Amino acid sequence: MFTLEDLLDRLDAARERTLVALEALPDEALTQPGVVGRWAIADLLSILTAWDAEVVTGLMQLTNGKPPERLLAALRNPDIYNAQRYQDAQGRGLDAIFDDFQASRLHLEEWLSGLSERALSEPRHYKALGGEPLGRLIARATADHEARYLPFLTAFAQRWEEMEATSDERRTTSSEESDTMIPLGQIDILTLPGANGDTAELAFPEDDDDDFE
């Protein structure tokens, strides 16, 4: 039996892992392409938002006795649906993306709270779903779909943190080196080899005319 508690637990678990992966990333990381294919994290968040909204639209249609045709089509061809939503999301700002990301999930959970356990778990409660329980269909479109991309998010976040740590280390090393450099004014030029005419002790590299071609 697919209960409302089970469904909400799966939704919360996937979302919590997503937010943990994102919490240490700056805005510039969220718009960096190549996290999942050509997608940036911002693109992925827009796509996940679209799935939540699509489920809500499907629930409205089922409540009105209509088949959720667009949702069912999206589940049959999720890659095509994602590509379309990626195009729709281009040009949107991060603030708007995050606002919608949070609002769509709250809206979905409000709709779920109004469903009966029978509506969620009974395979034949909605004939339009072809025998699949509504709760399982919702999980496929939301929590399971989000979980599919969590390894990519986690790997990207780890790489970003490692690059930042390396960059910080280089800056620290550079700063320490500059602090220990001897000012030119304190170097006694007369103590350097060749300064008193002892050029025989110096080893000069051979000239190579090719260096100037």
In degrees and rounded to multiples of 5, residue 205 shows phi and psi of -65, 150
Q: Residues 71, 141: contact at Cβ < 8 Å?
A: yes
pLDDT in tens, 198-213: 434 433 233 344 443 4
Q: Does the pLDDT of residue 189 top 50, yes or no? A: no
Output DSSP code: residue 207.
Answer: P
Q: pTM above the 0.75 mark?
A: yes
**Domain chopping of the chain, boundaries:** 4-160
pLDDT, tens only, 115-145: 999 999 999 999 999 999 999 999 999 999 9
β-pair partners for 36: 39
**Distance between CA atoms of 22 and 26, rounded to whole angstroms?**
9
| 4-160: CATH number | 1.20.120.450
Buried b (16+ CB within 10 A) or exposed e, 35-61: bbeebbbbbbbbbbbbbbbbbbebbeb
Residues in the chain: 213
Cα(190)–Cα(183) distance, integer angstroms = 16
Sequence letter at residue 4: L
Strand partners, 39: 36
Higher per-residue pLDDT: 195 or 92: 92
